[in-house]
Structure 1
Amino acid sequence: MAGVARAEGADTPAAARASGEAPGGPGASTVFTPADKTGFGTSRTKESLVWFTLQGGRMSETYYPDLSTPAARQTQLVVTDGRTFVERLSDGESRTELCGRDGAPVYRLTSKGTGWCAVTRYVTDPERASVLIDVDVRSETNAPLRVFLLHDPSLSGDGDDDSAFPQDGALVAKDKHAASALVAHDGFAESTVGYLGVNDGWSELSENNGNLEHHYATAGPGNVLQTGRLRIDGRTRTRQTVVLGFGEKPADAVSTARRSLRRGFDAAARAYERGWSDYLAGLPGTPGSLRTPSQQALYTASVVTLAAGEDKRNPGAFIASPSMPWDFASRHVVPETGPYHLVWPRDQYQIGTGLLAAGDRAAAERALDFMLRTQESDGHWAQNCKVDGEPFWTNIQLDETAAPMLLAWLLDRHDARTLDRLVRAADFILGFKSEEGYKAPYSQQERWEEQSGYSPSTIASVIAGLVCLGDLLERGGQGEKAAEYLKAADKWQKSVEDWTVTTKGPDSSEPYYLRLTKNGKPDSGMKYELGNNIETPVDQRTVVDAGFLELVRLGVKRADDPVILNSLAVVDRKLAVDTPSGRHWYRYSGDGYGEQPNGEQWTVNRPEVKTTHGRLWPIFSGERGEYELLCGDRQSAAGRLRDMASTAGETLMLPEQVWDDRPPVPREQSGTGTASATPLAWTHAQYVRLARSLERGTPVEYPTVVAERYLRR
């Protein structure tokens, strides 16, 4: 308690020094930090409505009060001697380590600069909405240092309408819906607020040799930045605890931060670790197929990443990634931040089956329940939604409407309420008709969002979904309803090749599956624009992907089907790249969903950006491994798991994409993560599923009822 009294007393002079209102608002527009995260953490408790991410030597987005709402853009240190150098942690050499006991997402970030070393650790308080940062900065030359804390709030997902001011020794920010408070154990020796790019603390420090020329007390509304100097010098004082607390009102945020500060970092970290240890102890151990400690650690990290991605106010809402890659970090592509910190039914299915494979059946049940709660009135699911269920993008993807049927079958859910919702979904699929006049299984969008048409992966999902629903109806005493769905599934199973297999394509003299056809006539040579900065129309017979493997993985076609085998050969010739982390695949021919040739970010609809390149996706190694298990080739499947593991970063985050063999290689190493969404929950779910499938000898999500219908006749 004595330490708390000193902290509160020490804050008062800092608050008194700052005065007046910062000019120059509203400041530059908010752009969120890069998406290749090296840390993602939260407690296991429902009381702590906060999540943090790490990237590039700093704490990047912090989410509050839910996982669809970023509440801070970044929080990081600036170290200076006040004369010769001014350095942010993000500017220099840094290393992030996963250091939590039993796999808990506790992180240690070590940064080095001109004669100094900084070590920061991060956890959230399990009892309240706050992030605690343990700061340890040491001078390596014995010269005294000044250490500043920079904080960029973006409350309610919008950093352009915040106001900042001091309150009770805290640096407080607020907007109409939420507030944040930044406190330090020994208070701030001086502080200021300003507008990004105008008179923010970093601009002041970098332009004035590490000194604050102004000490503004208030700013906003606008894109405000808060800066406070910690009472450490790197010699006699090296360590401080900093807390970022949140609440609906400023007083709530200050109270939350103060209570966490009184608890202290070490006590909060112990409770934080204990919560994760207890969770993991309740699950089966790592699969026997994982032979090395590094593989086992990645499996545990994958389970933790999936579990951490569930919203606490909306149980069962699992986001795709706690990141905003490329131009999604601005307002250029979408009016709000997103869309990765949203819930996608397709990703929800991937995450649900991953957690089910890990032994967390309750989480998979919650994932299904969330989907049932957010079903549209006509029976389909929106393309994605916020964690509270509000639709975000509303395009129709039939595989997403079939996904709940597949998950329900794996969970043996045939209660009346579940069946009623799934029947509505099936009726929607059977009655679907596009604006062009095409009927299901034609889809307004296939699984890569960007095209309409007849897609093998979508058709596989709806066939398998309808068969699984038919089985659930039988077990639920409603077998009379199943006949119509099974009849449609059988018809589509017989017709999928007619819609999607070309016999006149340029890539093989034998039949092979296309990514999709726009008209259900695979030999017609119809052209379409791929999108993603690829404007020249392409012949649909020249575009392939590995989506046809869903036909095998979901029991619709045999693994040794001649067209499947020939299509695999085509895909491997056109889409596979061997990298130092193994063989990986592109999404489809000519994909432009990735960085520009020089490595700069992906964007669309900017005249200066002419070309972007989609890179390699590690999930395809997992999908190929599940296929190889169905072929009886366990050795090759195990190799795919190793290839996936090789793409993990230093803190065991698995990326959406990895670099291929084109520029900016060799500057960026082939086979390592790009600036795409990291961690991607789908990649982690695929890793968990393949690891557990190798242990069992068959894919854990394989719907045997579908295989029994189509493969054993």
Structure 2
Amino acid sequence: MLAVALAAAGAAGAGAARETRPPLYSAGVAGSAFGPDAFRITLPPDASGSYLPGTSLLADAPLPGPGDLLPTGAYPVVPRTAPVDHAALADATRAWLAAGTVPGRTDAEREVATRALLDLALLTDPNGASVASPFGPWHLVWPRDASWHAVAFAATGHPDQARAILRFLTRVQDDDGTWVSRYRPDGTPVRDGRARQLDAVGWVPWALWSWWQAASDRDRPARDTAALREFWTMLRRAADAAVGSLTDTGLPRPSSDYWEQRETRPTIGIAAPLLLGLRSAAALAADLGEPDAQRRWGAAASRLATAIEARFGATGYRRHPVAGAGPDSAVTFLAAPLAPLDAAAVTAAVRRTEAELRMPSGGLRPGNIPRVGDVAWTPATALFALAAAGRGDEESFAGWFEWLASHRTGFGAFPEKVANDGSPASVAPLGWTSAIVLLALATRDGTVGPPPT
């Protein structure tokens, strides 16, 4: 996603990604993901207004005009001339919310969670294509982001949306078990020379495990694994690709990760998701009665965990397993509820990284790399809220959550970035941030079970 952000910023002006106040391209999304008249519009940065309670329908807005509608899935590509039953759409949206759970202990927390859930619903087409954001070059499916979206839906009691995303990811997977970096909502890959991001073979099995763990009795009756068996081929290919990526050192080969740049050394942003994915795959193989796969993937996970602790741990869990490497927010991937290792050492690394990555706005940048710019990124900041929730640190969780909640757009959407003056920047909503915040709340509330081991 970072490379797309840079490209879009470049269109707005040379060096825009490094400015202290990058532009805001969209303020949020409106419409309804449910009902026969479902539609979605992107709200421009200067938009004003409010939503009908419990919906994403604008309280005082007419139907969108020409050019405002997004041509995806079941949403219309041209404005409707017939009246739309907004009351019916509102009822359908509220019924969807009521069918699941809205995490949070206070009204303020639940308001943030409600908006995050509704934004994710509008980012997810009926065919399971769950885009990063509804604006321009972000209107694509990153397997990493989509996996997190699925986990958030599973954790909040919306298994149908989670399963739709998993089916989309299954359809677009290559035969070698990997995914390209991005897909269009119709499932066609974006082949622009961008390197594959190997972390998808970790995130997608984790998303499948999360859906399976959270599935209702209706979807997962006692030991009836038919629903899970649907994804066996996808899981086997992904987990075997993860095993095949491990080198003689026990670490995966160099690969592009969420920073989306070519790498010559292993990164923590690849090693940690692969550990999580292999642990998830082994647990799923056990449920499916596949002992050979369980042993193979479990052994690979153990080998990888040992290598991470030895190589990354020796240098304080930095971006690369070498002396002098910079900090990386991906250190949080090695904390509960994801792929926890040595709790004391990882917690110390997380707290040190927080201090190193803090920006004037109070949020955190992803790491020390010029292309991310000298501003805070909400997904990076949200990952530290998740890590705080995972270790039961209420004070740290509250601090990060309050920062995230107070730096949304006027429509309550999480932007991708926050400028140093505290203003939202880039695109909103960013689905990855919404998903991380929802999982952080659910983890803090105790409704997310222990991670796979």
TM range (shorter): 0.7 to 0.9
Query: 1:458 maps to what in 2?
Result: 270
Query: 2:32 maps to what in 1?
Result: 43
Q: Whole-Å Cα distance in 2 between the matches of residues 395 and 97 of structure 1?
A: 41
Native 8 Å contact 1:515 1:545 kept in 2: yes
> Within 5 A, what are the aligned runs for 1:605-644?
613-644=373-404
Native 8 Å contact 2:365 2:381 kept in 1: no
Native 8 Å contact 1:647 1:658 kept in 2: yes
Q: Is the aligned partner of 1:422 residue 2:235?
A: yes
> Aligned to 1:686, which of 436, 441, 444?
436
Please state which structure has a larger fraction of its residues in helix: 2
Distance of aligned partners of 1:442 and 1:498 in 2 relative to their CA distance in 1, 3 Å threshold:
farther
Native 8 Å contact 1:96 1:107 kept in 2: no
Structure 2 gaps, min length 5: 1-10, 13-22, 214-224
Q: Whole-Å Cα distance in 1 between the matches of residues 169 and 132 of structure 2?
A: 14
Distance of aligned partners of 1:635 and 1:433 in 2 relative to their CA distance in 1, 3 Å threshold:
closer
Q: Whole-Å Cα distance in 2 between the matches of residues 498 and 245 of structure 1?
A: 53
Q: Whole-Å Cα distance in 2 between the matches of residues 457 and 246 of structure 1?
A: 38
> Within 5 A, what are the aligned runs for 1:114-263?
121-123=61-63, 131=64, 246=77, 257-258=80-81, 260=82, 263=83
Instruction: Report deviation, 1:683.
Output: 1.1
Query: 1:491 maps to what in 2?
Result: 303
Native 8 Å contact 2:414 2:428 kept in 1: yes
| RMSD over aligned Cα atoms | 3.0
Distance of aligned partners of 1:624 and 1:257 in 2 relative to their CA distance in 1, 3 Å threshold:
closer
Q: Whole-Å Cα distance in 1 between the matches of residues 389 and 260 of structure 2?
A: 28
> Aligned to 1:106, which of 57, 60, 64?
57
Query: 1:287 maps to what in 2?
Result: 103
Q: Is the aligned partner of 1:647 residue 2:407?
A: yes
Q: Whole-Å Cα distance in 2 between the matches of residues 555 and 407 of structure 1?
A: 13
Q: Whole-Å Cα distance in 2 between the matches of residues 152 and 246 of structure 1?
A: 8
3-state SS, counterpart of residue 547 of structure 1: helix
Structure 1 gaps, min length 5: 1-30, 58-94, 109-119, 124-130, 134-150, 158-243, 248-255, 325-337, 503-510, 524-540, 594-612, 661-669, 707-713
> Aligned to 2:332, which of 549, 558, 581?
549
In structure 2, give the amino acid aligned to 1:40.
V
Q: Is the aligned partner of 1:370 residue 2:168?
A: yes
Distance of aligned partners of 1:701 and 1:687 in 2 relative to their CA distance in 1, 3 Å threshold:
farther
In structure 2, give the amino acid aligned to 1:515.
R
3-state SS, counterpart of residue 42 of structure 1: strand
Distance of aligned partners of 1:245 and 1:621 in 2 relative to their CA distance in 1, 3 Å threshold:
closer
3-state SS, counterpart of residue 322 of structure 1: coil
Q: Whole-Å Cα distance in 2 between the matches of residues 107 and 156 of structure 1?
A: 20
In structure 2, give the amino acid aligned to 1:550.
F
Native 8 Å contact 1:38 1:96 kept in 2: no
Q: Whole-Å Cα distance in 1 between the matches of residues 245 and 343 of structure 2?
A: 30
Query: 1:560 maps to what in 2?
Result: 344
Q: Whole-Å Cα distance in 2 between the matches of residues 279 and 648 of structure 1?
A: 24
Q: Whole-Å Cα distance in 1 between the matches of residues 297 and 417 of structure 2?
A: 37
Distance of aligned partners of 1:38 and 1:444 in 2 relative to their CA distance in 1, 3 Å threshold:
same
Native 8 Å contact 1:493 1:556 kept in 2: no
> Aligned to 2:363, which of 579, 584, 597?
584
In structure 2, give the amino acid aligned to 1:104.
T
In structure 1, give the amino acid aligned to 2:259.
W
3-state SS, counterpart of residue 97 of structure 1: coil
Native 8 Å contact 1:466 1:485 kept in 2: yes
Provide, for residues 408-431 of structure 1, a one-character-per-residue CA deviation record: whole Å limited to 9, x for no partner: 212228533312221111222222
Instruction: Report deviation, 1:105.
Output: 1.3
Identity over aligned residues, as a percent? 22
Q: Which has the larger radius of gyration?
A: 1
Q: Is the aligned partner of 1:97 residue 2:49?
A: yes
In structure 1, give the amino acid aligned to 2:27.
T
Q: Whole-Å Cα distance in 1 between the matches of residues 28 and 392 of structure 2?
A: 37
> Aligned to 1:672, which of 401, 423, 430?
423
> Within 5 A, what are the aligned runs for 1:315-330?
315-324=127-136
3-state SS, counterpart of residue 148 of structure 2: helix
Q: Is the aligned partner of 1:512 residue 2:316?
A: yes
Provide, for residues 495-529 of structure 1, a one-character-per-residue CA deviation record: whole Å limited to 9, x for no partner: 11444356xxxxxxxx4222125xxxx13xxxxxx
Instruction: Report deviation, 1:47.
Output: 4.2
Provide, for residues 52-83 of structure 1, a one-character-per-residue CA deviation record: whole Å limited to 9, x for no partner: 112144xxxxxxxxxxxxxxxxxxxxxxxxxx
Instruction: Report deviation, 1:46.
Output: 6.2
Instruction: Report deviation, 1:276.
Output: 1.4
Q: Whole-Å Cα distance in 1 between the matches of residues 116 and 281 of structure 2?
A: 30
Instruction: Report deviation, 1:322.
Output: 0.5
Tell me the TM-score normalised to structure 1 length: 0.54
Q: Whole-Å Cα distance in 1 between the matches of residues 283 and 70 of structure 2?
A: 47
Instruction: Report deviation, 1:51.
Output: 2.2
In structure 2, give the amino acid aligned to 1:470.
A
Native 8 Å contact 2:276 2:339 kept in 1: yes
Native 8 Å contact 2:328 2:368 kept in 1: yes
Provide, for residues 607-638 of structure 1, a one-character-per-residue CA deviation record: whole Å limited to 9, x for no partner: xxxxxx24102233332222223333223212
In structure 1, give the amino acid aligned to 2:335.
V
3-state SS, counterpart of residue 560 of structure 1: helix
Q: Whole-Å Cα distance in 2 between the matches of residues 269 and 629 of structure 1?
A: 38
Provide, for residues 474-502 of structure 1, a one-character-per-residue CA deviation record: whole Å limited to 9, x for no partner: 22111122222222211111111444356
Tell me the TM-score normalised to structure 2 length: 0.82
Distance of aligned partners of 1:364 and 1:323 in 2 relative to their CA distance in 1, 3 Å threshold:
same
Higher relative contact order (CA 8 A, sep 6+): 2
Q: Whole-Å Cα distance in 1 between the matches of residues 414 and 155 of structure 2?
A: 18
Native 8 Å contact 2:180 2:196 kept in 1: yes
Q: Is the aligned partner of 1:301 residue 2:301?
A: no
Native 8 Å contact 1:403 1:461 kept in 2: yes
> Aligned to 1:411, which of 211, 224, 234?
211
In structure 2, give the amino acid aligned to 1:625.
A
3-state SS, counterpart of residue 368 of structure 1: helix
Native 8 Å contact 2:149 2:431 kept in 1: yes
3-state SS, counterpart of residue 477 of structure 1: coil
In structure 2, give the amino acid aligned to 1:287.
P
Native 8 Å contact 2:104 2:113 kept in 1: no
Distance of aligned partners of 1:557 and 1:273 in 2 relative to their CA distance in 1, 3 Å threshold:
same
Query: 2:252 maps to what in 1?
Result: 441
In structure 1, give the amino acid aligned to 2:58.
Y
3-state SS, counterpart of residue 585 of structure 1: coil
